[in-house]
């Protein structure tokens, strides 16, 4: 009798205990300090993941999982979101789609199709890119943008004029097509061809097309130097007149004469936000741009003044006898940039005069690469001429006065004494003026970095609560070339240099800038936070070892300190090592498109 009374109570207790005790999770991170993507301080908690999503957060002593990660001593954060990436340039290459330079700095999502160049080639559609990438797999998530410049090029080529009414309508239709196909927004590159030929009114007309889809606008501004404030006003106007959120991308005040202008620009953006414009900023935590790597100290005019027109020196290639298809094939074979951004079919359909000019330009480009030292030898010979030499030196001197000789730092010169010295310091060591020092360094093929942004300006931009983080980086072939170190270490530099060491940003704010804030800017509803129900893009980082080891002289160096990284719930870095997983999704406003999971 007594046994019967206890049976119902025992059954009830078992019913309550079983779901917790027997819960089978895929991954469980135990005991980490969770920074959830808000400004909240870290709290110790377990994070349980099932079916790619965060299932539970809290004290889960009885939870079981197939993979258990000891996260004690680590900060557990959302995966980092790169607001401005050129990873799409490498996604089509099987050797690069693992994106190790991104994974090792904690990036789980990249926003691609930047600077007005769509994430797919001119002549293709967004669906073509999605099919290729989803078939081969990606290690990180990708958000695709339609590029204003690509749309303009597809309709108008390189025309330096406003579009006709019919051309504008065709461009608007292409933007709508891309948004309907899964793009998250539109990008512009207003200092590049062909974006630089557009008016603000044209950009507004095309940006309006993303509004019904909840899209956003992100811009490489028309000018980031002397006309920075005017360019900020243009972006704010686009946001105000379209009602679309706008992002001032890889924000900077470029050139020593503009140092200090970042605060004024950020204040104008803050005022626009207070007036109801959804205006944002992203920045990479470096004081140089990619144009500063291996930059020639000498302006192009130094090589061209006094030199005969090179058109007669071009090889006698019978372009006029070639078909449009043959011309297109020649251009694509010799011009990597055009090959990356256009298709053969679209190119062959261009007007013949345009094809002929592109073919001749391809020859000139190939000759410039092979005749670099020949050009320097010719420069040296012209410097011996009293009249030409004086003119060339004046050109160089004027350029250095504008750029600031103290902002050039020598990274790799034949004379080891000069490494790490500014141009002004090198001139002193050589016993010559800065103009002569510049000539000597260029002739010895020195690698020189131009610091055309100031550290106080970078810190100013980082200090505002509407600034997210970007790399403006690519997916480099490891060990080949001299890419900007931001491709390997922007997010880890943010945390090590600007947060933990310099304390420009408190760690919760730095993590928010890299995660939740970016998700809010884009309009992501299910990523960017360590929150139940969100996709499990997770970073577990070691605050003692996190760092960026990439430098301007030696950029090929994977960041340290990202101990574990999960993409859509799949462990992609384990103890800092790549697992072989290709668990990235292509993210669209209406669907998540898996790219397949592969483990080597």
pLDDT tens sequence across 514-532: 999 999 999 999 999 999 9
Distance CA 152, CA 194 (A): 7
Report the share of the chain in percent with pLDDT over 70.
88
**DSSP secondary structure of 464-512:** STTEEE------PPTTSS---THHHHHHHHIIIIIIIIT-SS-HHHHHH
Report pLDDT for 587: 96
Residue scoring higher pLDDT (500 or 322)? 500
Q: According to CATH, what is the number of the domain 78-289+453-594? A: 3.20.20.140
**Cα–Cα distance between 449 and 426 in angstroms, integer?**
14
Q: What is the pLDDT of residues 545-555, one digit of tens each?
A: 999 999 987 89
Residues 272-288 have pLDDT tens digits of 999 999 999 999 999 98
Structure tokens at 308: 């005969």
Burial of 266 per CB tally in 10 Å (0-12, 13-18, 19+): buried
> Among 82, 208, 225, 87, which Cα is nearest to 148's?
208
Predicted confidence at residue 37, as pLDDT, reads: 98
DSSP β-ladder status, 141-147 and 107-112: parallel
Q: Taking the domains of the chain in order of start, what are their residue ranges?
A: 78-289+453-594, 298-447
pLDDT-based confidence at residue 19 (cuts at 50, 70, 90) = very low
Residue 56 has pLDDT above 60, yes or no: yes
Residue 308 has pLDDT above 90, yes or no: no
pLDDT of residue 598 exceeding 60, the answer is no
| Lowest mean pLDDT, pick from 40-44, 47-51, 390-394, 523-527 | 390-394
DSSP string, 319-337: GGGS-HHHHHHHHHHH-HH
Average pLDDT score over residue span 51-69 = 97
CA distance 175 to 150: 10
Average pLDDT, the chain: 89
With bands split at pLDDT 50, 70 and 90, how would you rate the model's confidence at 20?
Answer: very low
pLDDT at 443: 78
Give the pLDDT confidence of 370-412 residue by residue, as tens digits: 444 555 667 777 888 888 889 889 988 988 887 788 888 887 7
* Backbone phi, psi, residue 367, to 5°: -70, -40
Higher pLDDT, 334 or 140: 140
Q: What is the pLDDT of residue 313?
A: 52
Whether 53 shows a pLDDT value over 60: the answer reads yes
Helix H or strand E segment including 414: none
Most confident range (mean pLDDT) of 159-163, 341-345, 421-425, 556-560 is 556-560
pLDDT at 1: 47
Q: With the C-alpha atoms ordered 77, 580, 102, 192, is the resulting torsion angle positive or negative?
A: negative
Q: What is the pLDDT of residues 322-377, one digit of tens each?
A: 888 888 888 888 777 777 788 888 888 888 888 887 887 777 666 554 444 555 66
Residue corresponding to tokens 């012209």: 382
pLDDT at residue 147 is higher than 90: yes
Given a contact cutoff of 8 angstroms between Cβ atoms, the answer to whether 461 and 267 are in contact is no
pLDDT at 17 over 50: no
Higher pLDDT pick, 92 / 224: 224
For residue 14, name the pLDDT band (cuts at 50, 70, 90): very low
Average pLDDT in the 292-315 region? 57
| 3 state SS of 243 | coil
**For residue range 413-445, what is the model confidence (pLDDT) as tens digits?**
888 898 888 999 999 999 999 999 988 888 777
What pLDDT is recorded for position 364?
A: 64
- pLDDT at site 467: 99
Q: What is the pLDDT of residues 463-495, one digit of tens each?
A: 999 999 999 999 999 998 878 899 999 999 999
pLDDT value at 228 more than 70: yes
Q: What is the 3-state secondary structure (H, E, C) of 92-160?
A: CCCCCCCCHHHHCCCEEEEEECCCCCCCCCECECHHHHHHHHHHHCCCCEEEEEEEHHHHHHHHHCCCC
Q: Is pLDDT above 90 for 256?
A: no
Is residue 115 predicted with pLDDT exceeding 50? yes
Beta carbons of 277 and 421 less than 8 angstroms apart? no
- Is the pLDDT confidence value at 11 over 70? no
């Amino acid at each position: 009798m007594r046994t019967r009374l206890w049976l119902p109570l025992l059954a009830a207790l078992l019913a309550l205990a079983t779901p917790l005790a027997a819960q089978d999770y895929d991954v469980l991170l135990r005991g980490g300090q969770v920074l959830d993507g808000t400004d909240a301080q870290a709290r110790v908690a377990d994070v349980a993941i099932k079916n790619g999503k965060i299932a539970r957060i809290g004290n889960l002593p009885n939870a079981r999982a197939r993979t258990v990660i000891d996260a004690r001593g680590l900060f557990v954060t959302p995966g980092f979101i790169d607001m401005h990436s050129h990873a799409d340039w490498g996604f089509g290459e099987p050797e690069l789609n693992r994106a190790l330079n991104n994974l090792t700095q904690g990036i789980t999502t990249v926003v691609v199709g930047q600077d007005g160049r769509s994430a797919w080639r001119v002549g293709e559609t967004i669906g073509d890119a999605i099919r290729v990438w989803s078939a081969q797999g990606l290690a990180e998530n990708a958000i695709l943008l339609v590029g204003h410049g690509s749309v303009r090029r597809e309709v108008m080529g390189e025309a330096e004029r406003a579009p006709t009414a019919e051309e504008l309508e065709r461009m608007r239709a292409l933007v709508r097509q891309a948004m309907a196909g899964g793009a998250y927004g539109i990008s512009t590159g207003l200092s590049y061809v062909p974006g630089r030929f557009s008016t603000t009114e044209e950009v507004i007309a095309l940006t309006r097309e993303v509004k019904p889809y909840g899209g956003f606008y992100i811009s490489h501004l028309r000018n980031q130097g002397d006309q920075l404030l005017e360019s900020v006003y243009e972006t704010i106007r686009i946001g105000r007149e379209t009602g679309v959120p706008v992002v001032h991308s890889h924000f900077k005040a470029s050139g020593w004469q503009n140092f200090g202008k970042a605060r004024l620009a950020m204040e104008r953006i803050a005022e626009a936000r207070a007036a109801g414009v959804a205006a944002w900023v992203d920045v990479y935590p470096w004081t140089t741009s990619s144009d500063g790597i291996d930059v020639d100290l000498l302006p192009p005019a130094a090589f061209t003044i006094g030199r005969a027109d090179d058109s007669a020196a071009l090889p006698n290639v019978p372009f006029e006898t070639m078909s449009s298809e043959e011309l297109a094939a020649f251009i694509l074979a010799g011009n990597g940039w055009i090959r990356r951004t256009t298709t053969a079919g679209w190119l062959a359909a261009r007007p013949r005069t345009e094809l002929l000019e592109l073919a001749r330009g391809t020859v000139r480009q190939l000759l410039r690469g092979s005749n670099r030292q020949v050009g320097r030898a010719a420069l040296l010979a012209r410097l011996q001429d009293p009249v030409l030499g004086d003119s060339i030196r004046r050109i160089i001197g004027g350029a250095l006065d504008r750029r600031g000789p103290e902002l050039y730092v020598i990274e790799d010169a034949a004379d080891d004494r000069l490494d790490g010295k500014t141009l002004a310091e090198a001139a002193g060591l050589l016993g010559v003026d800065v103009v002569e020092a510049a000539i000597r360094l260029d002739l010895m093929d020195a690698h020189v970095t131009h610091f055309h942004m100031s550290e106080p300006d970078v810190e100013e931009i980082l200090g505002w609560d509407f600034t997210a983080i970007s790399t403006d980086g690519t997916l480099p072939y490891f060990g080949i070339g001299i890419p900007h170190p931001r491709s390997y270490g922007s997010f880890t530099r943010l945390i090590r240099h600007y947060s933990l060491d310099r304390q420009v940003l408190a760690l919760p704010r730095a993590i928010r800038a890299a995660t939740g804030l970016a998700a809010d800017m884009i309009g992501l509803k299910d990523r960017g936070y360590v929150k139940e129900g969100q996709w499990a893009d997770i970073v577990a980082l070691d605050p003692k070892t996190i760092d960026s080891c990439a430098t301007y002289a030696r950029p090929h160096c994977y960041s340290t300190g990202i101990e574990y990284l999960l993409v859509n719930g799949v462990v992609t870095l384990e103890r800092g090592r790549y697992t072989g997983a290709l668990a990235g999704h292509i993210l669209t406003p209406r669907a998540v498109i898996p790219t397949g999971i592969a483990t080597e």
